[in-house]
Amino acid sequence: MTARWLWLWCAPLALAAAACVDSRDGAQGGSPAPDFAHTDLEGRTVRLSELRGRTVVIDLWATWCEPCVFQPPELNQVWKAHRASGKVVVLGVELGGASPDEIRAWGEENDAVADYPLLWGADEDLARRFGAMGFPATVVIDPEGAIDSVTVGLATAAEIEQAIAHLVGS
């Protein structure tokens, strides 16, 4: 079975399953977020604990995840809306073992270029530590460094804005 046929068969099932996942699937709201330090595509190390005081939206994804191509445009809207305020940080964390060059190529090939920082070098264990049992997953970390919500499946910019509104005063 080709990847395209597999995608056509699995996509409706994945979207239906994502719609059934509780927004706090696996992770307990208010639990401390697991710290991590990974490198962005420009070679800078980003440590989650150094972002305290801001709301952090993390996209957990992989280059092999076909639905993941739809998430960067939505997150770009959120990043654009909040970047100047400094209250919100958006990060993408690639968990499939892709190199920086592979990540850049994936974004260009799929019209999924992210305007926010993309981190590499993580693996699926990080997703499990956040309680995300599928991709893409959107994790919201509150300014105190606790997990506020975990959403498995595609999330629109409006849904992400709704998830962070109580944290950013919108």
Largest pairwise CA distance in the chain: 48
Domain of 23, CATH number, reads 3.40.30.10
Confidence class for position 30, pLDDT limits 50, 70, 90: confident
| Cβ atoms of residues 59 and 136 within 8 Å | yes
**pTM score, whole prediction:** 0.84
Inform me whether the pLDDT recorded for 13 exceeds 80.
Answer: no
Q: Tell me what percent of the residues of the chain surpass a pLDDT of 90.
A: 79
43-67 mean pLDDT = 97
Please list, in sequence order, all residues whose beta carbon lies within 8 angstroms of the beta carbon of residue 149, skipping any fewer than 6 positions away: 23, 24, 29, 138, 139, 140, 163
- Nearby residues of 111 by Cβ (< 8 Å), 6 or more positions away: 69
Q: What's the domain count of the chain?
A: 1
Query: What local confidence, expressed as pLDDT, does residue 136 receive?
Result: 96
The neighbouring-strand residues paired with 45 are 39
Range of the domain at 103: 3-168
Mean pLDDT estimate for the chain: 86
Question: Would the pLDDT of 110 be above 50?
Answer: yes
pLDDT in tens, 118-151: 999 999 999 999 999 899 999 999 999 999 999 9
Kindly indicate the confidence band of residue 169, based on its pLDDT and cuts at 50, 70 and 90: confident
* Gap between the Cα atoms of 152 and 149, Å rounded: 10
Q: In this model, does residue 8 exceed pLDDT 90?
A: no
Instruction: Quote the pLDDT of residue 19.
Output: 34
Q: Give the pLDDT confidence score for residue 122 in this predicted structure.
A: 92
**Cα 42 → chain centroid:** 19
